[in-house]
A and B are shown apart, each in its own frame.
Chain A
């Protein structure tokens, strides 16, 4: 066993410095360089997408949940890339010679991820435009009507 040496942890310290520097630089840069357009919405206190003043029991768009779910999905799937990257060199080396297999498998995985992403985009999960909103509202109203009609039919029967 090697003895404890604080110098081994220098890279970690450097990482901290870089991370803090990155954050500070970005904030400073936006303050100095970025142009400002003050709108009413922008100046409101930040409250995760809803009005900061008013009833706390309002209904959320289901989209928030959808986005959260998709985020977790892709997040976890990207984590799978890390162990793959860690062992890739060993497995691709002469000892195992699995370069093609390991590479293809991860590419298949990434392509499947991409397919899922394209599906999600095409289905309008990230579409926050006015039109998408109106469409969703229209659909909700239609579904509600349908439900009422069904209930009425069942009561009549």
Chain B
């Protein structure tokens, strides 16, 4: 009887809108179908799973494009659990792109390594649906659910080469630290939920927009601070910001290379999506510093500035001393998280909807450029590493420049783009992020970021020098490049130039059209 009484008190009209989660539904369904096909297909038909996964991802992409251009319905569903705005759509696009490219990279690799392809592809699809939920969740609970769907699938993928000790180590480390950070996040969510009660005996809220409304009237402001700090740590682990980055090099080095490519681009972008949504919209900017909201905003923004500086510096300095290409790229991914945090700071520092939307779109754009060049680079690294990921040291790249010019030049292009050379995507991404920070008045932060970019030239150029100007002592047989990887390389190379030369279309698409969709609630 008690239960039905509770139901009567609350408003239980379910506010279902399945169209609003159409891309997520498509990806989930594709995952289940791939699983079933894998169960019934004979070993010779395993290639089908990769194709099916691609079809699902393309369909989901079409659905999200339709939501981008032709959506006229409500922009919230399930009582604000799912929201529709450009932030979500941008990161959904990144998640789908990363996943599709990973499928293409891994299609032949997974066969060559004798791994179960169907399992790999369905796990990848489930991870993708988790990433998309993290981008679309307007509620802390949905964001946590998405994070777990993503993480559990990724833990398994990191340990996919069961017989390889490094892969096992990577998976275990990722699992332990991942669950540790999930616990931090969850505890933060619980504290915020408790703190946002407005009257004794009433429940708090996990809805992000509602949290923002209740900041000043919350019953227990100190708990709010503790909760926000916990969530900051939790998200910091997930996107590998500096004090919480220690797992990254080991995990990225040990995981199979296509999985590393996915982990560095996908989950990081998804982490940024929810991190942005929770902090920029949940603890938003106010002009009056004296209020609780003002204090909490100042606190997280200050912490984030420090995090950005440490992350960039540690990532770049750490990358210098690496002798393994995957490890170097892992540190570089830490550094790139730092650059993206610069844009994050800019997005949080302003109350003006136009500037805010510009800063948000710059972070999304940065993650897109990073995903494109990173996946391209890892595709080449996968090819050169061969079966069992054996050749991933800098030495293995000695003098391959003129023996496999195609691979060497594309890899050099991605290195230059990661460095941020003009005309490439990396340059435009950095420009956008730094400009947003300059607009918000963070001059010294931008100076530090630019200095860090200069440091990063050392290790990106070092790989190019190793490839073209070192003598090779061991024999080199050029790896066979499968057609699917050629497709990936073409897409990523074109992407690097397209985003570097004509970024406006994408940037405009990532910007919020009606000013501040979230603020309407």
Partner of B3, one of A87, A96, A118, A146: A87
B14 A101 Cβ-Cβ under 8 A: yes
A-B contact pairs, 9 of them (CB 8 A): A87-B4, A96-B12, A98-B14, A115-B32, A118-B36, A119-B35, A146-B163, A150-B164, A150-B388
Kindly state whether residue A157 has any CB partner on chain B within 8 Å: yes
Classify the interface of chain B: helix, strand, loop or mixed: helix
A residues at B contact (CB < 8 Å):
86-87, 90-91, 96, 98, 101, 112, 115, 118-119, 122-123, 143-144, 146-147, 150, 153-154, 157
Quick one: closest A residue to B39, CB to CB? A122
Partner of A147, one of B32, B38, B163: B163
Contacts A143-B163, A147-B163 hold; do A101 and B388 have CB atoms under 8 A apart? Answer: no
Expressed in whole angstroms, the Cα–Cα distance for A52 and B123 within the complex equals 40
B162 A115 Cβ-Cβ under 8 A: no
A-B complex: 4 closest residue pairs judged by Cβ atoms: A122-B39, A147-B163, A119-B39, A143-B163
Interface string of B81-92 (1 = CB under 8 A from A): 000000000000
Expressed in whole angstroms, the Cα–Cα distance for A90 and B39 within the complex equals 39
Contacts A96-B12, A98-B14, A112-B32 hold; do A87 and B163 have CB atoms under 8 A apart? Answer: no
B35 A157 Cβ-Cβ under 8 A: no
Expressed in whole angstroms, the Cα–Cα distance for A154 and B390 within the complex equals 8
Kindly state whether residue B66 has any CB partner on chain A within 8 Å: no
Expressed in whole angstroms, the Cα–Cα distance for A43 and B164 within the complex equals 42
Expressed in whole angstroms, the Cα–Cα distance for A123 and B3 within the complex equals 41
B163 A90 Cβ-Cβ under 8 A: no
Classify the interface of chain A: helix, strand, loop or mixed: helix
Instruction: Return B505 CB to nearest CB of chain A, in Å.
Output: 38
Expressed in whole angstroms, the Cα–Cα distance for A118 and B390 within the complex equals 37
Kindly state whether residue B16 has any CB partner on chain A within 8 Å: yes
A90 B7 Cβ-Cβ under 8 A: yes
B39 A123 Cβ-Cβ under 8 A: yes
A122 B388 Cβ-Cβ under 8 A: no
Expressed in whole angstroms, the Cα–Cα distance for A123 and B43 within the complex equals 12
Contacts A98-B14, A150-B388 hold; do A90 and B4 have CB atoms under 8 A apart? Answer: yes
Instruction: Return B396 CB to nearest CB of chain A, in Å.
Output: 10
For B388, the chain A residues whose CB sits under 8 A away are 150
Interface string of B369-388 (1 = CB under 8 A from A): 00000000000000000001
Instruction: Return A91 CB to nearest CB of chain B, in Å.
Output: 7
Expressed in whole angstroms, the Cα–Cα distance for A115 and B162 within the complex equals 25
Instruction: Return B14 CB to nearest CB of chain A, in Å.
Output: 6
Partner of B36, one of A87, A101, A115, A153: A115
Contacts A87-B3, A143-B163, A146-B163 hold; do A122 and B40 have CB atoms under 8 A apart? Answer: yes
A101 B16 Cβ-Cβ under 8 A: yes
A153 B390 Cβ-Cβ under 8 A: yes
Interfacial residues of chain B within 130-177, with CB under 8 A of chain A in the complex: 162-164
Partner of A118, one of B12, B13, B39, B163: B39
For A150, the chain B residues whose CB sits under 8 A away are 163-164, 388, 390
B residues at A contact (CB < 8 Å):
3-4, 7, 12-14, 16, 32, 35-36, 38-40, 162-164, 388, 390
A157 B390 Cβ-Cβ under 8 A: yes
Expressed in whole angstroms, the Cα–Cα distance for A143 and B165 within the complex equals 13
Expressed in whole angstroms, the Cα–Cα distance for A91 and B3 within the complex equals 12
Quick one: closest A residue to B13, CB to CB? A96
Instruction: Return B35 CB to nearest CB of chain A, in Å.
Output: 5
A87 B7 Cβ-Cβ under 8 A: yes
Quick one: closest B residue to A149, CB to CB? B388
B16 A115 Cβ-Cβ under 8 A: no
For B7, the chain A residues whose CB sits under 8 A away are 87, 90-91
Quick one: closest B residue to A146, CB to CB? B163
Quick one: closest B residue to A121, CB to CB? B39
Instruction: Return B439 CB to nearest CB of chain A, in Å.
Output: 46
Instruction: Return B475 CB to nearest CB of chain A, in Å.
Output: 12
For A86, the chain B residues whose CB sits under 8 A away are 3
Instruction: Return B344 CB to nearest CB of chain A, in Å.
Output: 36
Expressed in whole angstroms, the Cα–Cα distance for A154 and B16 within the complex equals 56
For B14, the chain A residues whose CB sits under 8 A away are 98, 101
Instruction: Return A20 CB to nearest CB of chain B, in Å.
Output: 30
Instruction: Return A76 CB to nearest CB of chain B, in Å.
Output: 15
For B38, the chain A residues whose CB sits under 8 A away are 119
For B390, the chain A residues whose CB sits under 8 A away are 150, 153-154, 157
B12 A91 Cβ-Cβ under 8 A: yes
For B39, the chain A residues whose CB sits under 8 A away are 118-119, 122-123
Quick one: closest A residue to B393, CB to CB? A157
Excluding A98-B12, A123-B39, 6 further A-B contacts by CB distance (< 8 Å) are: A87-B3, A90-B4, A112-B32, A115-B32, A122-B40, A157-B390
Instruction: Return B474 CB to nearest CB of chain A, in Å.
Output: 9
Instruction: Return B392 CB to nearest CB of chain A, in Å.
Output: 12
Quick one: closest A residue to B389, CB to CB? A150
Quick one: closest A residue to B38, CB to CB? A119
A143 B12 Cβ-Cβ under 8 A: no
B163 A115 Cβ-Cβ under 8 A: no
For A112, the chain B residues whose CB sits under 8 A away are 32
For A96, the chain B residues whose CB sits under 8 A away are 12-13
Quick one: closest A residue to B162, CB to CB? A143
For B3, the chain A residues whose CB sits under 8 A away are 86-87
For A123, the chain B residues whose CB sits under 8 A away are 39
Instruction: Return A62 CB to nearest CB of chain B, in Å.
Output: 11
For A118, the chain B residues whose CB sits under 8 A away are 36, 39
For B4, the chain A residues whose CB sits under 8 A away are 87, 90
Quick one: closest B residue to A142, CB to CB? B114
For B12, the chain A residues whose CB sits under 8 A away are 91, 96, 98
Expressed in whole angstroms, the Cα–Cα distance for A118 and B38 within the complex equals 11
Instruction: Return B294 CB to nearest CB of chain A, in Å.
Output: 42
Quick one: closest B residue to A150, CB to CB? B388
Instruction: Return B113 CB to nearest CB of chain A, in Å.
Output: 10
Expressed in whole angstroms, the Cα–Cα distance for A86 and B38 within the complex equals 37
Expressed in whole angstroms, the Cα–Cα distance for A98 and B14 within the complex equals 9
Expressed in whole angstroms, the Cα–Cα distance for A105 and B30 within the complex equals 18
